[in-house]
Amino acid sequence: MGAILLADVSHPAGLIAAKLLNDPLPHCHVVTTTTHKTLRGPRGGLIMMGQDMPNPWGLTTPKGEVRMLSAIMDSAVFPGTQGGPLEHVIAAKAVAFGEALAPSFKHYGQQVILNAQAMAKAFTEKGYHIISGGTDNHSMLIDLRNKDITGKEAERVLGIADITVNKNMVPFDTQSPFVTSGIRIGTAATTTRGLKEAECAQIVQLIDAALMHKDDKAELDRIRFQVNGMMRLRSLYPGS
């Protein structure tokens, strides 16, 4: 009794907006998200409520009236935690939300998932252990312990090859949080740049080659050349 159910959808928010994943808002008191990642806007955050309610702690106004939960959250955020609204970032969020309402955004989200599934399949075929066995969204967590490389080392090696991933803890990790045994990979950015399933499977080949030749500078240079060749005609911004 009195529990508040909160869902954080920072990573899949764009896929939820495109109605490709289930919306938690009808089932949760509070939903939080970032405005970047799959929502593809500027860095920022949102706190949302589907329906306001009296706060469950019985906190009252000076007049003795029970305060609404939204008022409690507002007072916690501003002015104590957040201030100085950035108008250009607010405008960028509006642009991102407008894009999310367009039919093309659903097509983008569908391609994000297809690309992630293509990568997951390619990793599995190369003997990598994906924690979830596959993916229904944009991301996957890979346990590297059977490949005899830590997450920290994999992040470093792939960075040399101009492939960006981040080290990540895995269930029952035997390494510290600063080293980790895994990496996390997502397909939102590569999909934005126009890559499809075949190219995503090719990226897996390049990742595997880099990890298997982590001490071979010449090989890592060759892989970086391939990576940059693949992306050279896929500009970050239209017309750039």
Q: Locate 25 and state its tokens.
A: 């808002």
The answer to whether position 239 is within a domain reads no
Decide: 54 and 68 in contact? Cβ < 8 Å.
yes
The pLDDT of residue 121 = 97
Decide: 36 and 13 in contact? Cβ < 8 Å.
no
The pLDDT of residue 83 = 76
The pLDDT of residue 240 = 54
Unique residue bearing structure tokens 């940059």: 228
- Cβ neighbors of 162 (< 8 A, separation 6 or more) are 224, 227, 228
The pLDDT of residue 239 = 59
Residue pLDDT tens, the chain, 240 long: 678 899 999 999 999 999 999 999 999 999 999 999 999 999 999 999 989 999 988 899 999 999 999 999 998 888 777 777 889 999 999 999 999 999 999 999 999 999 999 999 999 999 999 999 999 999 999 999 999 999 999 999 999 999 999 999 999 999 999 999 999 999 999 999 999 999 999 999 999 999 999 999 999 999 999 999 999 888 777 655
pTM: 0.89
Residues 39 and 76 in one domain: yes
**Count of domains forming the chain:** 2
Q: What is the CATH number of the domain that holds 150?
A: 3.90.1150.10
- Name the 3-class secondary structure at 34: strand
Unique residue bearing structure tokens 């895994």: 182
Residues 143 and 201 in one domain: yes
Unique residue bearing structure tokens 């911004």: 237
Query: Residue 71 CA to chain centroid, in angstroms?
Result: 29
- Structural domain for 159, as ranges: 104-231
Give 125-162 as a DSSP string. HTT-EETTSS-SSSEEEEE-GGGT--HHHHHHHHHHTT
Helix then strand count (H, E) for the chain reads 8, 7
CA nearest to 6, candidates 19, 24, 18: 24
Q: What is the CATH number of the domain that holds 90?
A: 3.40.640.10
Residues 181 and 140 in one domain: yes
